Chains A and B, each alone.
Chain A
């Protein structure tokens, strides 16, 4: 564990464990101040007692987190922390924060480091910076709203130019498709999804490379599992929330996160289904939109929305009740939660107004709903929402290198009994 524990002096023969060159440290004061702003100054009080790691249900036996991360954070070792996979294996149960004898709140520190990661790996970087700072919030919200408004104002001209005809056929019977034509909404959706996807891919690649480079530099043992197999395991873990389920202090967070996770999944599935109606080979000819209230798709969408509403409400009440002033909940937490709730609330409101045939109230709500949805989508790679991709990436990486496997001090991780180690190594290289 401690590389300094080299062979005792006077021992004959070559040292069994190579003594690494000392690591040069130049603390990053801005990083320390940033962590302090988000997690409180007392994280620097850490005296390495290890209570955090001992109480953590998720931490592996070897080099457990968050103890070492606390030491690195106190010394402003930004580079080390940004290439630390363990930061993302933490689910912020806050068992550690509850038990820390110095009031150091390791759970909050790791959350702050994660947001630093998101900002650091952001592409383009300025967007990472904007999303991280409350001062840019009006601007960020204005961008999708203004773009959408402009497009709506110019929709007939654009439609004419593109050769679209107003689609008031026998199937689509409501006037809003005149106000918000499908081609326009879908176009926006595809456009923002495309941008977000590029940012996510670049961010993930940067992150993965940093993890690899860090491990290589430290001479860590070779991977134990192929990347595809690791992805399968990680996705399974994400779906079952099996790590989250181990939290004790933040037990309610497991439930609320599960509800939001599956609610979001349901809504995404329905949205994709609808958007791709024209090109989706699975959709039969009889596609009618909007769905009937009792249509299975509509039921799924409504259940999804309600799940997010329920989960979001629990999260909100948890944060309001347990939120330590200035800590526990930060801007990143509040902004994502608020946006998510706004998306769902405006969506449900639009639906209600629609059934009540209330126009133009319905159009106004729908406009704000779309603006929020696009904001959510567009800023996914830079907001706390990015934890979805980074955490899954980290979980894949952890599976890949066998992070959870017991490892003798200084040695390689024990190989899993099944599988061909030779093959997996080749695949991964």
Chain B
């Protein structure tokens, strides 16, 4: 195999030969681009593909361009290792969305071949990253509750070693404090044993699990496969065991919200939290009034944290509902004349829990209503009177009870790593700031961030902060809809109630998922491959540090905290942390970051490979850089649905919009393109970006691009950024038709032919 011997295969099937002049395409390859080997094949699937593979072997081709079907439809894995394959989707991107036999259609196909050849000339086969030290395949589980116990057991049963760290002096977490569990199996009517004792015994008896109770993670440095963990005593902070692990499951669970702000908790006696009632039943077996020890005959469960509705948490979960239903049965099971009232804003009993809800509803002594509780007052004879309005009784009502139980809001037992880092930065600036104004502003910042002081849990040695970055409500940021357990720190997986409020069933499921993720991580890291979302990618970024100016853009913008810094601010790559999105490549003004198969130079070559017609030919050229996660697959769908696409657009896929280096845009304008469109994923609170903030970064960098356009005396309107989700593929043609109209109003790019 010769590394740089290129072969091009042009498919004639799929209607390609009917719509295009295939001979002319081959001429572009052989005569214009000077590639000696160009063959037409009928198909690039099945026997056609087998034919291609025979040629690859007999001709000892090192690089192969297959011009036929989309890469997403192609069985790429059949090529021998080390062979670089590049695809031109003549079918989806040309034949299916362009009129056959037209000059513009032919030009489009030829340009795509030129771009593919320009790219493949500069690409070399990636070599997987292997650190000098051996990858450790054991897993650290932080938190010994139901999630941590399950995760530890799942990992151990799969044949990997586990370190289980628990802050308390015994395992079990919140579940161990519960009297009974809500039903988890048909017919979902009867309360169950929590099963936590058996689980703890199994974990403690497992030979692969090393349990560290009364311990916290004092420090964690390194990267996936190479995490160095030092424990600390949970009581006095003294350093404990040190060991190395390959991946981490954060199962730190939840902490109760202090209900003081909303209802008269702490002001009126006999108003307790649901966790207090749980403890009372678990430890004493009976329910009594804290104020006078009288046996409780009636309880009002208040679920919504008081009026106004939603004053509590915006992320109301099903746990509070299920807990109230369960605890109503505690009361009723002991006394057939007892009365339990549940006032709720939302009764959430998803899935089979509906059956449990029905069972509790049927109980003659349980009374449920939606309603806003406005008041809890002490009656003359020692009872509590609960007043509620907007109830389902059609009027404002009052009930008299012995005890009021408040739903316990669940807050994640997590720290906001980025905020802790910001606090440290602000503190430093408040002392060392250059001007009085700067120091003042930093001091105000310190106050605003003070709540994060001393909250660190994982104590990661990461430049971007000692814990996982958090979302709005303090839950670890994880793109939770598509990729549960994932976090923004590679090799660290959040599971259980730290990720979102959930019950024992949800926690077990979560723990199993996270355990598999952790195993996947150590295995792929050992093979030198990327993990989600570019799972299996063997390329990794290389930094040409001689040219680094220590501007820190890459270390700040990396969504995954891959890069630490030395004292001067030079990035220190921890390659196994890397997800290969290329955001650092897009950030770097010096263009020193590159992958073997993706670099500023490679894409720039593709841009320049396009033949730009002269101004008087009235054929504009538009460059479109599409995120390969959503927008580029959407382009395939445009073809599949036979939508008509503007023939003047040349599409190039990018790993993430965050990897777009602004130099590509200036290159395109200099090369005579009339406009550039960037299309990425949705961003914002409900972002869909696979790399968290790539498209957001692209927008933020837009200022930089505008400056460059200004320098070139070009209009801002020649560059557009759009957000698109794959299901919106039908909007894609319109984006370019509209953009073509905009371009028309500004006229052709004067740089053409220069």
Contacts and interface: CB of A to CB of B under 8 A. Distances in A.
Interface in A38-63: 41-42, 44-45, 48, 63
A27 B332 CA distance: 14
B361 interface: yes
> Which size bracket describes the interface of B in this complex?
20 to 34
Interface in A58-103: 63, 68, 71-72, 74-77, 102
A42 B387 contact: no
Contacts of B369: 71, 75
Interface in A1-55: 1-4, 19-27, 29, 32-33, 36, 41-42, 44-45, 48
26 contacts: A2-B390, A3-B395, A22-B395, A22-B396, A23-B393, A23-B395, A23-B396, A24-B397, A24-B398, A24-B400, A25-B393, A26-B399, A27-B367, A29-B365, A32-B365, A41-B362, A42-B358, A45-B358, A45-B361, A68-B394, A71-B394, A74-B361, A75-B367, A75-B393, A77-B393, A102-B358
Given A36-B364, A42-B362, A75-B367, A2 B395 contact: yes
B362 A45 contact: yes
Interface of B: 336-337, 339, 358, 361-369, 387-400
Contacts of A3: 394-396
Nearest first, the 5 A-B pairs at minimum CB distance are: A22-B396, A4-B389, A32-B364, A22-B398, A41-B362
B337 to A, nearest CB: 6
Contacts of A26: 399-400
Given A32-B364, A75-B367, A25 B394 contact: no
Contacts of A45: 358, 361-362
B399 A25 contact: yes
Given A4-B390, A42-B362, A44-B361, A23 B339 contact: no
A71 B392 contact: yes
A71 B363 CA distance: 15
A36 to B, nearest CB: 6
Provide the main secondary structure of the chain B interface. Answer: mixed
B399 A71 contact: no
> Which size bracket describes the interface of A in this complex?
20 to 34
Contacts of A44: 361-364, 366
A27 B339 contact: yes
Given A29-B339, A44-B364, A75-B367, A23 B398 contact: yes
Contacts of B358: 42, 45, 102
Contacts of B339: 27, 29
Contact of A25 (B365, B389, B397): B397
A48 B395 contact: no
Nearest to A72: B393
Nearest to B366: A44
A77 B369 CA distance: 14
Contacts of A20: 395-396
A36 B399 CA distance: 22
Given A29-B364, A29-B365, A2 B394 contact: yes
Contacts of A68: 394
Contacts of A63: 394
Interface in A95-120: 102
Given A4-B395, A22-B398, 13 more contacts: A1-B394, A3-B395, A4-B390, A4-B396, A20-B395, A23-B396, A24-B397, A24-B399, A25-B398, A29-B365, A32-B365, A68-B394, A74-B368
Nearest to B389: A4
Nearest to A68: B394
Given A2-B390, A4-B389, A4-B390, A23 B397 contact: yes
A76 B391 CA distance: 15
A23 B399 CA distance: 9
A169 B712 CA distance: 134
Interface in A235-293: none
A71 B367 CA distance: 10
Nearest to B337: A29
Contacts of A23: 393, 395-398
Contact of B387 (A22, A27, A41): A22
Contacts of B398: 22-25
Nearest to B338: A29
A26 B365 CA distance: 11
Nearest to A1: B394
A4 B388 CA distance: 10
